[in-house]
Amino acid sequence: MNPSERRRPTRQVLVGGVPIGGGAPVVVQSMTNTNTRDWRATVDQIKRLEDGGCEIVRVAVPDETAVEQLPSIRKAIRIPLVADIHFDHRLALGALRAGVDGLRLNPGNIGGPDKVRKVVKMARERAVPIRIGVNGGSLEKDLLARYGHPTPEAMVESALRHIRILEDLDFNLIKVSLKSSDVLHTIASYRLLSNKVDYPLHLGVTEAGTLVAGAVKSALGIGMLLFEGIGDTIRVSLTKDPEEEIPVAYGILRSLKLRERGVELVSCPTCGRTEIDLIGLAEKVERLLRRVRTPLRVAVMGCVVNGPGEAREADVGIAGGRGSGLLFRKGGRIEKVPEAELIPRLLAEVERITGEKIPDAQCSSQ
């Protein structure tokens, strides 16, 4: 059975105009790593994230100066904005007044019932959802003492405490995440929680690492849960520019047939038959096609003998030879092209098929 057919039913919340849960497509989100007090740098980064396919963005709101930037940021971007708040309920109130579309805060950590009540009242008036974000590294001391470690049971108990605080105030615009840097703990925690509540779940493996390590951990942790039907929105965390997170996120969703967006690059591992710089070509094609939105399979193969056949399912592709290569479509030859012209011809073909303009296509032969 396809993972899209066994998604667990959850309630739906709206973050800005974006539905999460309740059968909506799994939403891709990210978080800026600019200084939120520098609204221009933050907006620039969010625009790059938007272009890459990010659908919701979160910014850290560490102080009042950051709160003051939120209206300018909100106004300049197209996707919903979530404010990430720790400990200070005044920052949450300020963020709500500034027009954010979501809050990430843990109600048990913002200073007592009166303060929580004020935040919840304003969030309800503005129909702004709150994500409870339990993190293995910052679990309550009493839970750590009782369980010894941030075990899945301790994580879930922490989440249920925070959920109860909101439910007692009759607030149910809730999403929950249970992030741990341990993949198996992450999976076990979400499984446990998804059997207890039907709030939409935000999946992620935290402190996952740099590009390769982080992509592997995220693909396993997020991917296994999605495969089981658990999860409504995902964030891939990398020690990298957040723009790098988006292709990884879509790669996970595409592999599970949950979302179709952009280019799936099919490239061969190279072998003794390869006579061109295929690794360089594949990396260049991947970079140039990163902003394409139309679902498309593009192949970059090492030889004309096996390449087109091996990439029969590709919508379009190139197969390298010596000093020249073949442009092919669905396994069939279109034409033979000099090596220097391979990428420009491929890009032109992608533009023709998708109807999208590829920003750097003109300088791609350099």
User: Per-residue x/- marks for ligand SF4, 220-259, CB under 6 A?
Assistant: ----------------------------------------
Work out whether 270 is an interface residue with ligand SF4 (CB under 6 A).
yes
Work out whether 339 is an interface residue with ligand SF4 (CB under 6 A).
no
What six digits make up the tokens of 278? 């295929």
Work out whether 306 is an interface residue with ligand SF4 (CB under 6 A).
yes
Work out whether 300 is an interface residue with ligand SF4 (CB under 6 A).
no
Least distance to ligand SF4, CB of residue 342, Å: 15
Tracing tokens 């446990």 back to the chain, one arrives at 192
Work out whether 310 is an interface residue with ligand SF4 (CB under 6 A).
yes
Work out whether 302 is an interface residue with ligand SF4 (CB under 6 A).
yes
- Per DSSP, the three-state class of 232 is coil
- Per DSSP, the three-state class of 352 is helix
Least distance to ligand SF4, CB of residue 250, Å: 25
Out of 240, 273, 284, 297, the only residue in the binding site for ligand SF4 (CB under 6 A) is: 273
Tracing tokens 């969703």 back to the chain, one arrives at 253
What six digits make up the tokens of 55? 């659908």
Out of 200, 221, 247, 307, the only residue in the binding site for ligand SF4 (CB under 6 A) is: 307
Q: What are phi and psi of 49, to 5 degrees?
A: -65, -40
Out of 61, 81, 143, 301, the only residue in the binding site for ligand SF4 (CB under 6 A) is: 301
Please identify, using beta-carbon distances, which residue of 3 and 307 lies nearer to ligand SF4.
Answer: 307
What six digits make up the tokens of 294? 């139309």
Helix (H) or strand (E) holding 260: none
Of 154, 225, 155, 227, nearest in space to 191 by CA: 225
Size of the site for ligand SF4 (CB under 6 A): 12
Q: Name the segment binding ligand SF4 (CB under 6 A); options: 144-152, 165-173, 202-210, 271-279.
A: 271-279
Distance (Å, whole) CA 289 – CA 353:
13
Least distance to ligand SF4, CB of residue 306, Å: 4
* Chain-centroid distance, C-alpha 265: 18
DSSP string over 153-196: HHHHHHHHHHHHHHHHTT---EEEEEE-SSHHHHHHHHHHHHTT
Distance (Å, whole) CA 103 – CA 95:
8
Least distance to ligand SF4, CB of residue 300, Å: 9
Q: What angle do CA 302, 223, 181 make, to 5 degrees?
A: 110
Out of 274, 297, 341, 360, the only residue in the binding site for ligand SF4 (CB under 6 A) is: 274
Interface residues with ligand SF4 (CB under 6 A)? 268-271, 273-274, 301-303, 306-307, 310
